[in-house]
Amino acid sequence: MGLLTSAASRAEVPVFPVVGAGGREAAEALWLLPGVRMVDTPRAAAVLVVIGRLTRALLQPVLLVHDQMPGPRATLWWPVDGRPADDGTDGDEGLLAALPDVVTTTAGDAAGLRAVFADLLAGRRPWGPPALADIESPRWRGVGPYGHGGEGMMGGVPYGRPFAEMAQDPDGLMLDQLPLQIGPLFPALPPGLVLHLGLQGDVIRGVTLGDNPYRSWPGDPPVGPLDSVPFLDARTSPTTVAALEVARARHHLRWLARTLRLHGLDARGRRIAALAGGLSATDRPAVEALARRLGRDRGLAGATAGVGVADQATLEPLGIELAGGPVARAAGVAIDARTDDPAYAGLDFEPVVHHGGDARARLRQRVAEAAQALALAERAGDAVRSPGPPVEGPRGPLAPGRTMPSSSLIHLLPTLLDGQEWGDAVTTVASLDLDLEEAAVDQSATAWPQTPTGTSTASTRTP
Amino acid sequence: MSVGPFGTALVVVLATGIAVLATRWLPRADGPPPTAPERIPFLGGGVPEVHAWSRFHIRYYAMALLFLAFDMEMVFMYPWAVVFAAEGAIALMEMLMFITILLLGILYAWREGALSWAS
Amino acid sequence: MSRPELAGVAMWILGGSSVVAAWRVFRTDSMVRAAYWLLASFVAVGMVMVLLQARFLGLVLVLMMAGEMTIMAAFMVMFMMNPAGLNPMSMVHQHTTAKVAGVVAFAGLAFVGVAADFPDRPVDAASEPTAELGEELLGDSMLIFETAGVTLLATMIGAIAIAGKRGRFGNAQEGSAPPPVDPDAPAGPDARPSPMHGGHGGMHH
Amino acid sequence: MATDADRDVDGIDEDAVSWSDPLPAVLLVGAVLVAGAYATSVLDTAAAHLVAGRRLRLGELVLGPWREAALLAHMRRSTTERPDVQTWALAPALLAGMAAVAVATVPLAPGVAVADVADGIVLFGAAMALVMVGVYLHGWSSNSVFPLVGGYRFVALALSYEMPLALVLIAAALPAESLSVGAIVESQQGLWNVVRQPLGLPLFLVAGMGLASWGPLGMSDGTDLAGGTSAESSGGARLVWALARRFVLVAVAVTGAAVFLGGWHGPVLAGGLWMALKTLVLLAVLVGVGHRVARIRLERFVVVAWAVLIPLALIDVFVSGALVL
């Protein structure tokens, strides 16, 4: 092994994560692993880590992203939820088998990941053959007057793709608009979010939501959405208020960490993610100090102020205004299920409210709620909340038979994103704290504004 | 051999550029040639329908035009800086007037909203 | 090779490069490449000027053209069909006119080059062309500077008035239209369509 | 047509090693760029760990950048469906070459300057204007959406920072009565420009951060664009792009140290050491800001640049001029 190879195999492992069903928490842990670096594009990655269960809808994108890694490349599978690699009932193994040479390791196992990486560079593992067949579509070689598929000025399929078509622009011009499908594996969007949009320059024109890839997961939600689990449990079984509130603070801090990373503050995000990982009620002063610091952070304020304004008028048609949740409270709606919850009666609870309804208000809202949650946890002591009234989850109220918050919030996207610059759109999506798995839990989410999913539960079961 | 400072600068540019090109091309690329899917541009799992090269709408066109005018201004300011101390207060006054006139241009552009473009 | 000889060789190489780059402008299909071939030609000319001791002007030419050509590329890409030249096309139009104009221009310049009586006056080694230019510009009167300032201001205002979103008669997005002659009549042909559908109004600018 | 007049303007001792000869010049500039890029990466790692509150092993800090470079050298250079191959390759070379020019104009120690020409800051400005061409081409060439958007973002960014950049350098040239960087360094004997022109250095660093599309002004290669102009670059192509961007940052720091921090002036230590120290300080500031300040929205920066930075830079020019008289 040459010096160069030896040095290369000790580099931080560039990893592109694929968040399957139930994999969001482990993906967060991946970010904090020492010796591992999450990268923004598969072109920079050497290892693809599939976390949780692949779904049929995720398969094609995963195969494509695998092939977009330059190589040498390896694929790891991190099972979550303690299930065996092959439970013999569904198509997981069948789906994974479409990827070449998948290594299964324990979720969060940095040593295993590094070992695979070192083997790869030392030539002890295969180079990583492509997963997709080498077929060009459509055919263009030898087609047309120049043999490159194009014809005339703007006609044909030069080198396999047609030209973009024109569309009206708000500046009064007719200019090209790129029809794009972004996601479900776009690292700056929540895992699983698929957006169909037109991009005119760097501005988005017309957004429709794509199919939720987690919906095709067969059966009842076995894993449940990340972080919401204690809140979902609280619907049906007694929970201590302190546990609920610490979980809320942790959820908001994790969201904050991811958001900071999106704004170019990876290191600050890591610090907060590490804080969130071991959070307890005694961290209240730290979180309050954090809230104060972020309130003074002019850079972050500038990056979020006025972006993605979801005011009460925008929220109303979707019923979010009356449901509450941080997004509504950031728009000045003082509704919180905890107000009427007897478990909070003696805790002096007042909903935190911000105004403006933009990304900055939502950021401040969540950080303030995190600090408030830890204060409540301190005050609550051993108080136990008995099931019955709706639970105020970190994204909104949860109650049996009620729409999950993410499935309502996601319908804000077409309105909010239209006309936004791409970077602002990413900020807006992040500020809504969407969880596609949570949206998938909800049966009422079948009414997607777009074409219905092609895959039924039955067809997903057969590999 | 002396080629003068400009000649040396040119040699430095060429040498740096060649070194960078060599670093780009030299590393082993002992994989097979890329397949068609491997060459698809990254869209987070999506496949582009059309070429990205298109009539790309720059929303900052008004600012770009403003820049053209301002760029001209630089031509005047460099020689001015050299002789400024020798010419004295007159030169300062001249520049103040020049700058004020140009600031009027920025003010106008700002008022007209030519500097911001989104939404 | 002595410095003057080297300078002579450099002169030929740079001059040749500028001509070749200028020729490539018209032989490429891509607007971006065309713009930057032109920039390459300008850079070569700038270096020739540096060789001729017009150091400041040569450098400033590069400084300005880098920005200008990028803006030109951006505008060409925005408005031209097939901006990247994915389908082959010709950048040359009106062949006869172009040929005649080219020959005439070349003949004229060549005639000047051959016939003119250039002064044989080597540049003083200690000359400071930038300072001399500054003195020339500042000079005894403020005329040059202030004329330039006002001209540039007019350029800026003109450019923004033409290209800006908000014209003299309102927002282009809202279908700006001049006020009617009769002050009591409603403004514009169909008085301010909504932003969603009023984009056509902007087409008139 | 003789170029004898091109001799160095600040009276370099003719008998010393002539750093303006081609071979020593190339070696010197190359060493400065590579050492600076390495220092940038080390500082970046250190700052990231400090801000994240993570433990840092010395081996990782010292060897990390080389390991990453070795890894990129091992990875295949991928391509897209129909890229402009030549311009894609040329973009990082152009960026690095222009960074080299900028370093060449700066005297790194008394008498050690590669090309300290009389019009030094104009040459610097011309080189930095060509940086815009490099980044735009890098975004354009891959024929992919996110790099393309990144390239266009950089054009808007560059058109906005270029004026403040040129203006603060002109202000620094006023006391020197010369556009030569060497003369500007000489003029700071006793009083550095950072004190004499307090607006200069902050404005210069903001513009410099834009030049290298670094930290809060890194919108052309941002996370929201999946890496922006480098979203489709892998292997050697990714390596040289990362290098070229660091080279530009180094050029900014070297120039800033010379123009605003008194260059090689300083007590006790040798001039070259002072220069290295000051460059490292500026690099640390640039890298540190990158980890503390969120990425700015492009549109916001454009407005701030034209409505605040340019007027401030003009005030800087005017006040500096008034102080000279």
Quote the DSSP letter at residue C29. Answer: S
* Residues D58 and D64: beta-carbon distance below 8 Å: no
D274 contact C CB<8A: no
Is B13 domain-assigned? yes
pLDDT band, very low/low/confident/very high, at D11 (cuts 50, 70, 90): very low
C-alpha distances in Å from residue A297, one per residue of C29, D246, D287: 48, 27, 18
Asked if C7's CB is within 8 angstroms of D2's CB, the reply is yes
pLDDT digit string, tens, across residues A128-187: 889 998 888 778 888 888 888 888 888 888 888 888 888 887 767 788 899 999 989 999
Q: How many CB atoms lie within 10 A of CB D92?
A: 31
Quote the DSSP letter at residue D296. Answer: P
> Using CB atoms, which residue from A44, A70, A271 is nearest to D227?
A44
Residues in chain C whose Cβ is within 8 Å of chain A: 78, 81-82, 86-89, 165, 172-173, 195, 199-203, 205
pLDDT digit string, tens, across residues D71-123: 999 898 888 989 999 999 999 999 999 999 999 999 998 888 888 888 899 99
Percent composition of chain D: helix, strand, coil (DSSP 3-state, to 5): 70, 0, 25
Give just the sign of the alpha carbon dihedral A96, A97, A103, A104. Answer: positive
Q: State the SS3 of chain A.
A: CCHHHHHHCCCCEEEEEEECECCHHHHHHHHHCCCEEECCCHHHCCEEEEECECCHHHHHHHHHHHHHCCCCCEEEEECCCCCCCCCCCCCHHHHHCCCCCEEECCCCCHHHHHHHHHHHHHCCCCCCCCCCCCCCCCCCCCCCCCCCCEECCCEECHHHCCCCEEEECCCCCEEEEEEEEECCCCCCCCCCCCEEEEEECCEEEEEEECCCHHHHCCCCCCCCCCCCHHHHHHCCCCEEHHHHHHHHHHHHHHHHHHHHHHCCCHHHHHHHHHHHHCCCHHHHHHHHHHHHHHHHCHHHHHHHCCCCCCCHHHHHHHCHHHHCCHHHHCCCCCCCHHHHCHHHHHHCCCCCCCCCCCHHHHHHHHHHHHHHHHHHHHHHCCCEECCCCCEECCCCEECCCCCCHHHHHHHHHHHHHCCCEHHHHHHHHHHHCCCHHHHHHCHHHHCCCCCCCCCCHHHHHCC
Q: Look up residue C178 and give its two tokens.
A: 């001049």
Q: How many CB atoms lie within 10 A of CB C126?
A: 7
Is B116 domain-assigned? no
The pLDDT value recorded for residue A293 is 92
Which residues in chain D are contacts of B51 at CB distance < 8 A? Answer: 82, 143
Q: Compute the nearest-CA separation of A458 from chain B (Å).
A: 24
Residue B40's CATH number: 1.20.58.1610
Q: Look up residue A118 and give its two tokens.
A: 């070192």
Mean pLDDT of chain A: 84
Q: Compute the nearest-CA separation of B50 from chain C (Å).
A: 12
* Residues A425 and A184: beta-carbon distance below 8 Å: no
How many folded domains does chain B comprise? 1
Helices D145-176 & B61-87 angle (0-180, nearest 10): 10
d(CA D121, CA D184): 10
Q: Which residue of A has its CA nearest to C85?
A: A153
Residues C59-65, mean pLDDT to the nearest whole number = 94
Question: Is residue D54 helix, strand or coil?
Answer: coil
d(CA B112, CA B99): 20
Give just the sign of the alpha carbon dihedral A396, A401, A406, A408. Answer: negative
pLDDT digit string, tens, across residues D240-285: 999 999 999 999 999 999 999 988 888 888 888 999 999 999 999 9
Amino acid at A440: A
> Using CB atoms, which residue from A61, A65, A203 is nearest to B118?
A203
Domains and CATH numbers, chain A: 3-122 (3.40.50.12280), 229-402 (1.10.645.10)
Q: Look up residue A94 and give its two tokens.
A: 């069948």
* Residues B114 and C165: beta-carbon distance below 8 Å: yes
pLDDT value at C199 more than 90: no
pLDDT value at C191 more than 80: no
Enclosing domain of residue B43: 4-111
Is B117 domain-assigned? no
Q: Which of residues 9-68 of A touch D (CB under 8 A)?
A: 9-12, 14, 34, 39-41, 43-44, 46, 68
* Residues A185 and A194: beta-carbon distance below 8 Å: no
Asked if D177's CB is within 8 angstroms of B8's CB, the reply is no
The pLDDT value recorded for residue D14 is 45
B103 contact C CB<8A: no
pLDDT digit string, tens, across residues D139-174: 999 999 999 999 999 999 999 999 999 999 999 999
The pLDDT value recorded for residue A447 is 35
pLDDT value at A455 more than 50: no
The share of chain A scoring above pLDDT 70, in percent, equals 88
Asked if C145's CB is within 8 angstroms of B87's CB, the reply is no
* Residues A290 and A272: beta-carbon distance below 8 Å: yes
**For an interface test with B, which of C80, C144, C152 has the most B Cβ atoms less than 10 Å from its Cβ?**
C152
Q: Look up residue A83 and give its two tokens.
A: 């299930």
d(CA A381, CA A242): 7
Is B119 domain-assigned? no
**For A81, phi and psi rounded to 5 degrees?**
75, 20
Find out whether the peptide bond into A138 is cis, omega within 30 degrees of 0: yes
**Terminus-to-terminus CA distance in chain B, angstroms?**
59
Q: Compute the nearest-CA separation of B36 from chain D (Å).
A: 8
Residues C78-88, mean pLDDT to the nearest whole number = 88
Q: Compute the nearest-CA separation of D131 from chain C (Å).
A: 9
> Please, which residues have CB within 8 angstroms of residue A274's CB and are 6 or more apart in sequence?
A32, D52, D53, D54
Q: Which residue of C has its CA nearest to A156?
A: C87
Amino acid at D191: L
> Using CB atoms, which residue from D117, D129, D143 is nearest to C66?
D129
Q: Which of residues 27-56 of C touch D (CB under 8 A)?
A: 30, 32-33, 36, 39, 46, 51-53, 55-56
Is B83 domain-assigned? yes
pTM: 0.91
> Please, which residues have CB within 8 angstroms of residue C35's CB and are 6 or more apart in sequence?
C69, C70, C72, C73, C76
d(CA C86, CA C52): 41
Is B50 domain-assigned? yes
Chains contacting A (3 or more CB pairs within 8 Å): B, C, D
* Residues A363 and A369: beta-carbon distance below 8 Å: no
pLDDT digit string, tens, across residues D228-251: 999 999 989 999 999 999 999 999
Q: Any idea where the domains of chain D sit in the sequence? A: 18-324
d(CA A368, CA A326): 10
Question: D299: number of CA atoms within 13 Å, CB side?
Answer: 25
Q: Which of residues 233-252 of A touch D (CB under 8 A)?
A: none
pLDDT band, very low/low/confident/very high, at C49 (cuts 50, 70, 90): very high
d(CA A126, CA A122): 10
Most confident of A242-246, B88-92, D38-42: D38-42
Q: Which residues of A147-182 are buried (b: 16+ CB within 10 A; e: fewer)?
A: ebbbeeebebbbbbbbbbebbbbbbbbebbbbbbbb
Torsion of CA A177, A181, A186, A188, to 10 degrees: 40
Distance of CA A140 to the CA centre of its chain: 37
Q: How many CB atoms lie within 10 A of CB A115?
A: 15
- In the numeric block, the tokens 């408030």 are attached to A372
Q: Look up residue A225 and give its two tokens.
A: 């959405």
Chains contacting C (3 or more CB pairs within 8 Å): A, B, D
Q: Compute the nearest-CA separation of A135 from chain B (Å).
A: 6
pLDDT value at C97 more than 60: yes
Instruction: Enter the ipTM.
Output: 0.90
The pLDDT value recorded for residue C181 is 64
d(CA A438, CA A419): 27
**For B113, phi and psi rounded to 5 degrees?**
70, 25
More confident residue, D48 or A319: D48
pLDDT digit string, tens, across residues A341-366: 888 888 888 899 999 999 999 999 99
pLDDT band, very low/low/confident/very high, at D38 (cuts 50, 70, 90): very high
Residues B85-107, mean pLDDT to the nearest whole number = 84
Is B63 domain-assigned? yes
Give just the sign of the alpha carbon dihedral D33, D101, C18, D7. Answer: negative
Is B74 domain-assigned? yes
d(CA B116, CA C182): 35
Residues C125-148, mean pLDDT to the nearest whole number = 78
* Residues D118 and D179: beta-carbon distance below 8 Å: yes
Domains and CATH numbers, chain C: 1-79 (1.20.120.1200), 141-205 (no CATH)
